[in-house]
């Protein structure tokens, strides 16, 4: 139990690393997703919006959380958003993400969005 006003005690994780982690620089990571045929759904709909899914103690935000679809399905993305309520209520330290896709109304449709009023 932490002492009042003292540092919090943190348990060490039970897992062991297989070796040093060598992360790619962030632009290369995103380029590799695109090269693999994946599209960042939030950025697809909100190309210029500054959004954050996590905030540090200093108040600086980062967009750690992403949802991807295969690039041919990117046009089916209807909505993708971050919701801060659970994070602000301190239920989690990350924002919730939601994704809404327009799916074919009948099996076998290929590449066509459902017609308005279909379904």
Yes or no: say if 88 and 66 are a contact pair by the CB < 8 Å rule: no
Residue 1 lies in a domain: no
Residue 79 lies in a domain: yes
Residue 20 lies in a domain: no
Q: Is a pLDDT exceeding 80 seen at residue 86?
A: yes
Q: What is the C-alpha separation between 46 and 86, in angstroms, rounded?
A: 22
Q: Is a pLDDT exceeding 50 seen at residue 11?
A: no
The reported pLDDT for the residue numbered 24 is: 62
Please state the rounded mean pLDDT for residues 106-117.
56
Residue 74 lies in a domain: yes
Which H or E run contains 96?
Answer: strand 96-101
pLDDT band per the 50, 70, 90 thresholds, residue 100: very high
Residue 43 lies in a domain: yes
Residue 34 lies in a domain: yes
Please state the rounded mean pLDDT for residues 82-107.
91
Q: Is a pLDDT exceeding 50 seen at residue 5?
A: no
Q: What is the pLDDT of residues 40-77, one digit of tens each?
A: 999 999 999 999 999 888 888 989 899 999 999 999 99
Yes or no: say if 62 and 53 are a contact pair by the CB < 8 Å rule: yes
Containing structural domain, residue 38: 26-101
Q: Is a pLDDT exceeding 80 seen at residue 37?
A: yes
Yes or no: say if 73 and 104 are a contact pair by the CB < 8 Å rule: no
Yes or no: say if 81 and 97 are a contact pair by the CB < 8 Å rule: yes
**Structural domains in the chain (count):** 1
Residue 16 lies in a domain: no
74 to 23, 35, 102: CA distances (angstroms): 27, 15, 10
Residue 110 lies in a domain: no
| Tally of helices (H runs) and strands (E runs) in the chain | 3, 6
Q: What is the C-alpha separation between 59 and 55, in angstroms, rounded?
A: 6
Q: What is the C-alpha separation between 21 and 52, in angstroms, rounded?
A: 24
What's this model's pTM, rounded to 2 decimal places? 0.65
């Amino acid at each position: 139990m932490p002492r009042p006003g003292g540092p919090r005690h943190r348990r060490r994780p039970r897992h062991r690393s297989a070796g040093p982690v060598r992360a790619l620089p962030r632009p290369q990571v995103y380029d590799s997703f695109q090269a693999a045929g994946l599209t960042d759904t939030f950025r697809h709909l909100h190309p210029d919006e500054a959004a954050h899914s996590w905030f540090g103690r200093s108040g600086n935000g980062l967009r750690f959380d992403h949802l991807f679809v295969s690039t041919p399905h990117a046009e089916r993305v209807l909505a993708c958003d971050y919701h801060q309520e659970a994070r602000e209520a301190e239920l989690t330290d990350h924002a919730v993400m939601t994704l809404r896709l327009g799916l074919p109304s009948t099996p076998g449709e290929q590449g066509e969005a459902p017609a308005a009023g279909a379904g």
